[in-house]
Amino acid sequence: MRSRSVSSPVSSADAVPRRIAIFRALQLGDMLCSVPALRALRHAWPAARISLIGLPWAARFVERYASLIDELIVFPGAIGFPEQEETDAALPRFFAAMRERRFDLALQMHGSGGPANDIVRGFGAAASAGFHQPQETPEPGFIPWPDDLPEPHRYLALMRALGIKAHDDSLWFPLTPHDRCEYAALETRHGIEPERLIVLHPGAQLPSRRWPPERFAEVADTLSSHGWQIAITGTSNEAAITAAVLGAMTAPALHLTGSTTLGGLAALVARARLVVCNDTGISHVAAAMRTPSTVIASGSDTHRWAPLDRSRHHVLADYPPCRPCAFRDCPYGHTCALNVSVSHVVDAALEQLAHSARAQPADASVLHARTPHPPKESRHAT
């Protein structure tokens, strides 16, 4: 494939890339926000072999989204990329292996530019595309970082710059038969009642993004007093957080920490009436499963990361001058979290529950059996 500016539409057969590399070495929520762009990319070039350069955990993501991505190439890490050990030691061998693959197109979908663009240049692809920061010299195929757009829309903008039709911004999380079986076992084992189930997920990767566990406990107790069944979820690494919530509660709750895979958790979310959580990966899972949510957003850039459907998902946030936050641990007293009260969250949750009840079809089983179908683009995948 000839080297060219890929910011113009692809208009001839010999310009269609056969081998595409995507650099996005990030966590679950980030990856879910890129699904609309990945879907558009696959729809445009269904015969291309698409390789994700990502974190080791993304093997599970690639397996789930096999209709969109063909393989994972593990990024070894580099200075300036805090998701892994920050060292450039493995980069020379990694770049040599990438150049041997002779990619037709490399897409920088990791971030705004800077070091991420340096990584993509190292792939030696025939053409590249991505984003650049204002102070960087624009290169063919690279567009200005669209800082004013929500996260899914940023990567759709890149697809459109490639000449790809990309307007469907809906998230999608496909459930497998194993996921459904896992949920069915959970329902039997724990006595889950979907018609009154609320999933409460108090964890988040960064402490600065977590609302206090004792406040989650108060919310859980209040919602339980209204007749709702509370399920506390989290990964095994979040056991201390969920234990703090359960220890502060007086009402009964289902303790599901570490009891689900990601797919099983998504199946549980799909059956729930509401998710109450921090602004983290599960909020994007709820968006993908079309399950209403109440999201307490501490520190994060809500314009960028909040769910797009603000009628189905209520985002509660306070905006001190230090926001958006770049800290792992807040050095300023965590006012953005503490200024969101328990009553704010309870009122938002009850409003969401009342709204979903009004919208509920006459046959309740229809609502709670919902699972979004694959968007049309993904049906064209090879």
Give me the sheet containing 127-132, strands edge to edge.
71-74, 49-54, 19-23, 105-108, 127-132, 142-144
| The two structure tokens encoding residue 364 | 């309740």
pLDDT, one tens digit per residue, over 282-326 is 999 999 999 999 999 999 999 999 999 989 999 999 999 999 998
The overall longest dimension of the chain from CA atoms, in Å, is: 66
CA distance 309 to 314: 9
Torsion (CA) 106, 110, 116, 121 in degrees, nearest 10: 0
**pLDDT recorded at residue 165:** 94
**pLDDT recorded at residue 138:** 84
- Is pLDDT above 90 for 370? no
Contacts for 336 with CB less than 8 Å, ≥ 6 apart: 298, 299, 317, 318, 319, 320, 322, 323, 325, 330
Backbone angles phi, psi at 52, to 5 degrees: -95, 125
- Is pLDDT above 80 for 13? no
pLDDT, one tens digit per residue, over 91-115 is 999 999 999 999 999 999 999 999 9
Contact 66, 321 (CB under 8 A): no
What angle separates helix 262-271 from helix 177-190, to the nearest 10 degrees? 70
Contact 175, 161 (CB under 8 A): no
Q: What is the set of domains in the chain, with CATH numbers?
A: 13-161 (3.40.50.2000), 177-368 (3.40.50.2000)
Contacts for 85 with CB less than 8 Å, ≥ 6 apart: 77
**pLDDT recorded at residue 125:** 97
Residue 189: Cβ-neighbour burial (10 angstroms; 0-12, 13-18, 19+): exposed
Spatial CA neighbour of 217 closest among 243, 249, 244:
249
The better pLDDT of the pair 351, 138 is held by 351
Amino acid at 118: D
Location of structure tokens 């958006």: 324
**pLDDT recorded at residue 177:** 97
Torsion (CA) 359, 363, 368, 373 in degrees, nearest 10: -80
pLDDT, one tens digit per residue, over 134-154 is 999 888 899 999 999 999 999
**Burial per residue of 318-330, b for 16 or more beta-carbon CB atoms within 10 angstroms, e otherwise:** beeeebebeeeeb
pLDDT over 70 percentage in the chain: 90
What DSSP assignment string belongs to 214-251? HHHHHHHHHHHHTT-EEEE---GGGHHHHHHHHHH--S
pTM, two decimals, is 0.88
Across the range 14-20, mean pLDDT stands at 87
Kind and range of the H or E element at 73?
strand 71-74
**pLDDT recorded at residue 382:** 26
324 upstream amide cis, omega within 30 of 0: yes
For residue 355, what pLDDT band results from cuts at 50, 70 and 90? confident
CA distance 76 to 87: 9
**pLDDT recorded at residue 359:** 63
How many C-beta neighbours within 10 Å does residue 21 have?
23
Rounded to the nearest integer, the mean pLDDT of the chain is 90
Contact 278, 286 (CB under 8 A): no
Radius of gyration of the CA atoms of the chain, in A? 22
For residue 371, what pLDDT band results from cuts at 50, 70 and 90? very low
Torsion (CA) 257, 259, 263, 265 in degrees, nearest 10: -40
pLDDT, one tens digit per residue, over 34-76 is 999 999 999 999 999 999 999 999 999 999 999 999 999 999 9
Separation of CA 30 from chain center: 4
